[in-house]
């Protein structure tokens, strides 16, 4: 598995897309800091970008990589290698290289602009950690979708739909249910609904760490009470971890069963 | 009769302020020399000038009130007053002025206090250039910095108040001028204002107070060129207006407050030339506010420009600059050709169901805000700025 991981990883590292992705974050980081010159403000703006773009890029990249390397995968399958290690290797290769691009691309400008001296370092590392989690989650989900669909168009369609659902539609349904049931106490419900969606969870986790959390008012206080404690924080990390493990298990299961 | 000068010092014949006041005649001057005077409940019952030389310390040893002025024409100048007694039954003050006219309190430094300067049924006085530093921790056992109660025609100028419960507190006080004061880090309000009419406050700075500034139940107030900064917290306001009528709010700066101005039941107020910068809500209107006008203000980078909880709008927005305005100006007259709608759908939704605020900064909200802006359905149709400025009013 490590060999394949290494191969996929280096293959991607050398590919143009990784550079584009890396340069994109590098430029984003520098431009934000250049315009803002305030690390903590830049973190807020960055959050908006991260919670939308990372899942999208993870999804598209994962599906694309799977379909593109299909022939190579078939070649590997003919070798005496365990199936799970082939797919795990590819998965970790893709997710790892994307995460590396993200961490380096954003990390370099922030470090250069004196992140180490500012007290935003914790917010920023949280941002990177959630970004990494989102990458792993969405690459995993897209691999599962790709392996379940022979048809490329269908696979792409489902993957984008999944992103659309979690990034936009879920919030829409969430909002609708909040408005429909406004007569009822909704604190617990909104807490649970937030936790169940990795994008929402990441957004709230970051928001609560920033000044802007004061805008959340009463509901924010309840969220803060939950996420502010070590237990709440551990639970949310556990949920993110669960979200990343579930697609991996699905991938292993599908890979084991699939007839190539 | 000639006014004489009394010298008070620790080693002099007159070593006590209290006793010297008893000996002095009206219109005399007491020069209090540098030193520490352990005295409290000093009654000033005749017109005197009590002047400190080199900031003598008057130490109340936490036993009670320190100065009590009951006469007209009293001047207190340059004393350093510490250790006012905290009481749960009496509002002990460092300086209490009762039914006095033409008094002056200036250049005082007050520390470790309960109430600072307490003016009671007094008028035509001046509170000038004092420094009041409290160490308030809890609201129930702390007092206000400068308190005016049933006092009128008073000038409060160039004072610095910090770390008290309410920095400056006015109740039933008319025709008061409050200028160039700094009120910061107070537990509750920087300035608290109740049932006080025809007051003017200009060029003050209110910063990092627990709940900002509250102006309530008052008429004909003028507020100009004040700065409200960093009043940030779940229950903090730059300024809270409640039942204020016929006021003028001009040239103020509201910067980084959770809510810039919270308006409730306030009518006929003119908001002109104010800057709202980086607030959570720049203006939040809650119920029954009629015939207000917002003209020539700058709204820069607020999370929400205006929040409104009714569909009825009787207020005028005209010629403001909105940083999130995306319109164009074909005829180059500096005024945008498309009206700007300052109320986002999201803020409307949040007003209806407060829990929905958890969707703050989500992609979905941005999308529906955009569609609402293109064709308003939920927000008041006439709530718009038909002449938004293209450039920041400088």
Residue ranges of domains in chain A: 2-257
- Residue whose structure tokens are 């009470």: A225
Q: How many interface pairs between A and B have CB atoms less than 8 angstroms apart?
A: 81
Q: Does A183 touch chain B (CB under 8 A)?
A: no
Nearest CA in chain B to A195: B358
Residue B234 has its nearest CB partner, among A171, A174, A217, at A217
User: Which of A166, A174, A175 has the highest number of chain B CBs within 10 A, making it the mutation to test binding with B?
Assistant: A175
Sign of CA dihedral B242, B246, B247, B249: positive
CB contact under 8 A, B361 and A47: yes
Q: Which residues contact A225 (CB under 8 A, 6 or more apart)?
A: A232
Identify whether the C-beta of residue A19 lies closer than 8 Å to the C-beta of residue A104.
no
Give the phi and the psi of residue A171 in degrees, each rounded to 5.
-65, -35
Token pair, residue A36, equals: 């803002």
User: Which of B211, B260, B355, B369 has the highest number of chain A CBs within 10 A, making it the mutation to test binding with A?
Assistant: B355
Q: What is the nearest CA distance from B207 to chain A, expressed in angstroms? A: 16
CB contact under 8 A, A168 and B364: yes
Radius of gyration of chain B (CA): 25
Q: What is the nearest CA distance from A11 to chain B, expressed in angstroms? A: 33
pLDDT by 10s per residue, chain B, length 394: 567 899 998 888 888 999 999 999 999 999 999 999 999 999 999 999 999 999 999 999 998 899 999 999 999 999 999 999 888 888 899 999 999 999 999 999 999 989 999 999 999 999 999 999 998 888 888 899 999 999 999 999 999 999 999 999 999 999 999 999 999 999 999 999 899 999 999 999 999 998 889 999 999 999 999 999 988 887 888 999 999 999 999 999 999 898 999 999 999 999 999 999 988 889 998 878 889 999 999 999 888 899 887 777 888 999 999 998 888 999 999 999 989 988 888 888 888 888 888 888 888 988 888 888 777 777 777 888 999 999 998 7
Residue B254: strand, helix, or coil:
strand
ipTM exceeds 0.90, yes or no: no
CB contact under 8 A, B355 and A203: no
Q: Does A130 touch chain B (CB under 8 A)?
A: no
Q: Tell me the CA distances in angstroms from B28 to A27, B4, B21, one per residue in order.
A: 74, 5, 9
CB contact under 8 A, B356 and A223: no
Q: What is the nearest CA distance from A70 to chain B, expressed in angstroms? A: 34
User: Which of B233, B258, B349, B362 has the highest number of chain A CBs within 10 A, making it the mutation to test binding with A?
Assistant: B362
Topology (CATH) of B1-210: Pectate Lyase C-like (2.160.20)
Report how far residue B294's alpha carbon sits from residue B296's, in angstroms, rounded to the nearest whole number: 7
Q: Does A151 touch chain B (CB under 8 A)?
A: no
Domain boundaries, chain B: 1-210, 259-394
Report the Cα–Cα distance between both ends of chain A, in Å, rounded: 19
Identify whether the C-beta of residue B279 lies closer than 8 Å to the C-beta of residue B262.
no
Q: In the prediction, which pLDDT does B251 show?
A: 95
Q: Which residues contact A209 (CB under 8 A, 6 or more apart)?
A: A122, A123, A126
Low-confidence ranges of chain A (pLDDT < 70): 1, 37, 40, 213
Q: In the prediction, which pLDDT does B118 show?
A: 95
Among A174, A52, A159, residue whose Cα is nearest residue B362: A52
CB contact under 8 A, A207 and B361: yes
Token pair, residue A229, equals: 């404690």
Among B372, B378, B380, B381, residue whose Cα is nearest residue B311: B380
User: Which of A214, A220, A226 has the highest number of chain B CBs within 10 A, making it the mutation to test binding with B?
Assistant: A214
Nearest CA in chain A to B230: A211
Q: Does A49 touch chain B (CB under 8 A)?
A: no
Q: Does A209 touch chain B (CB under 8 A)?
A: no
Q: What is the nearest CA distance from A211 to chain B, expressed in angstroms? A: 8
DSSP structural state of residue A181: T
Angle between helices A230-257 and A198-209 (to 10 degrees): 150
Q: In the prediction, which pLDDT does A162 show?
A: 94
Q: In the prediction, which pLDDT does B1 show?
A: 57
Q: In the prediction, which pLDDT does A187 show?
A: 82
CB contact under 8 A, B357 and A217: yes
- Residue whose structure tokens are 């759908």: B345
CB contact under 8 A, B364 and A175: yes
Nearest CA in chain A to B363: A168
User: Which of B303, B345, B358, B368 has the highest number of chain A CBs within 10 A, making it the mutation to test binding with A?
Assistant: B358
Q: What is the nearest CA distance from A52 to chain B, expressed in angstroms? A: 7
Q: What is the nearest CA distance from A174 to chain B, expressed in angstroms? A: 9
Q: In the prediction, which pLDDT does B95 show?
A: 94
Report how far residue A55's alpha carbon sits from residue B287's, in angstroms, rounded to the nearest whole number: 41
Residue B312: other Cβ atoms inside 10 A = 11
Q: Residue B260: its chain A contacts at CB < 8 A?
A: none
Q: Does A134 touch chain B (CB under 8 A)?
A: no
Q: Residue B361: its chain A contacts at CB < 8 A?
A: 47-48, 203, 207, 212
Give the phi and the psi of residue B205 in degrees, each rounded to 5.
-120, 125
């Amino acid at each position: 598995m490590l060999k394949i991981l290494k191969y996929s990883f280096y293959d991607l590292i050398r590919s143009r897309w990784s550079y584009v992705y890396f340069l994109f974050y590098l430029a984003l980081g520098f431009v934000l800091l250049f315009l803002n010159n305030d690390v903590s403000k830049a973190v807020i703006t960055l959050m908006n970008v991260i919670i939308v773009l990372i899942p999208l890029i993870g999804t598209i990249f994962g599906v694309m990589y799977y379909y593109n390397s299909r022939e190579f995968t078939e070649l590997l399958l003919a070798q005496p290698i365990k199936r799970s290690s082939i797919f795990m290797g590819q998965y970790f290769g893709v997710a790892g290289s994307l995460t590396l691009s993200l961490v380096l691309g954003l990390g370099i400008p922030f470090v250069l602009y004196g992140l180490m001296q500012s007290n935003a370092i914790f917010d920023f590392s949280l941002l990177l950690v959630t970004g990494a989690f989102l990458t792993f989650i969405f690459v995993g989900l897209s691999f599962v979708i790709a392996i379940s669909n022979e048809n490329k168009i269908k696979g792409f369609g489902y993957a984008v739909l999944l992103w659309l659902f979690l990034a936009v539609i879920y919030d829409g349904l969430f909002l609708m249910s909040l408005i429909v049931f406004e007569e009822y106490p909704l604190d617990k419900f909104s807490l649970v609904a937030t936790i169940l969606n990795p994008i929402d969870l990441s957004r709230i986790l970051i928001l609560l760490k920033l000044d802007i959390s004061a805008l959340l008012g009463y509901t924010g206080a309840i969220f803060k009470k939950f996420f502010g404690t070590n237990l709440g924080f551990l639970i949310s990390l556990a949920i993110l971890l669960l979200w990343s493990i579930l697609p991996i298990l699905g991938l292993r299961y599908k890979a084991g069963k699939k007839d190539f | 009769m000639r006014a004489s000068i009394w010298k008070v010092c620790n080693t002099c014949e007159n070593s006590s302020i209290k006793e010297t006041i008893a000996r002095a005649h009206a219109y005399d001057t007491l020069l209090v020399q540098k030193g520490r005077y352990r005295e409290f409940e000093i009654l000033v019952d005749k017109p005197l000038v009590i002047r400190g030389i080199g900031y003598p310390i008057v130490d109340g040893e936490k036993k009670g009130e320190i100065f009590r002025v009951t006469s007209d024409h009293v001047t207190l100048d340059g004393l350093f007053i510490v250790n006012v007694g905290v009481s749960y039954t009496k509002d002990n003050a460092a300086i209490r002025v009762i039914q006095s006219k033409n008094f002056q309190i200036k250049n005082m430094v007050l520390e470790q206090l309960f109430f600072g300067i307490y003016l009671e049924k007094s008028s035509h006085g001046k509170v000038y250039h004092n420094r009041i530093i409290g160490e308030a921790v809890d609201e129930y056992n702390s007092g206000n910095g400068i308190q005016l109660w049933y006092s009128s025609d008073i000038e409060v100028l160039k004072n610095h108040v910090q770390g008290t419960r309410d920095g400056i507190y006015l109740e039933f006080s008319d025709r008061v001028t409050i200028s160039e004061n700094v009120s910061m880090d107070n537990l509750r309000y920087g300035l608290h204002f109740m049932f006080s009419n025809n007051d003017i406050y200009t060029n003050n700075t209110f910063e990092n107070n627990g709940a900002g500034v509250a102006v309530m139940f008052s008429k004909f107030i003028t507020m100009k060129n004040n700065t409200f900064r960093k009043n940030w917290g779940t229950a903090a306001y730059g300024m809270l207006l409640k039942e204020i009528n016929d006021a003028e709010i001009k040239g103020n700066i509201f910067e980084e407050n959770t809510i810039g101005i919270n308006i409730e039941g306030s009518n006929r107020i003119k908001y002109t030339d104010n800057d709202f910068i980086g607030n959570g809500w720049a203006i939040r209107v809650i119920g029954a506010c009629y015939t207000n006008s917002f003209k020539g203000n700058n709204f820069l980078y607020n999370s929400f420009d205006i929040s409104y909880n009714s569909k009825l709008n009787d207020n005028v927005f005209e010629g403001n600059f909105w940083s999130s305005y995306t319109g164009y100006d074909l005829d180059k007259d500096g005024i945008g050709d498309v009206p700007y709608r300052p109320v986002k759908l999201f803020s409307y939704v949040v007003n209806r169901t407060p829990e929905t605020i958890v969707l703050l900064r989500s992609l979905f909200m941005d999308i529906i805000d955009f569609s609402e802006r293109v064709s308003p359905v939920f927000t008041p149709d006439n709530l718009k700025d038909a002449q938004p400025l293209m450039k920041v009013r400088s």
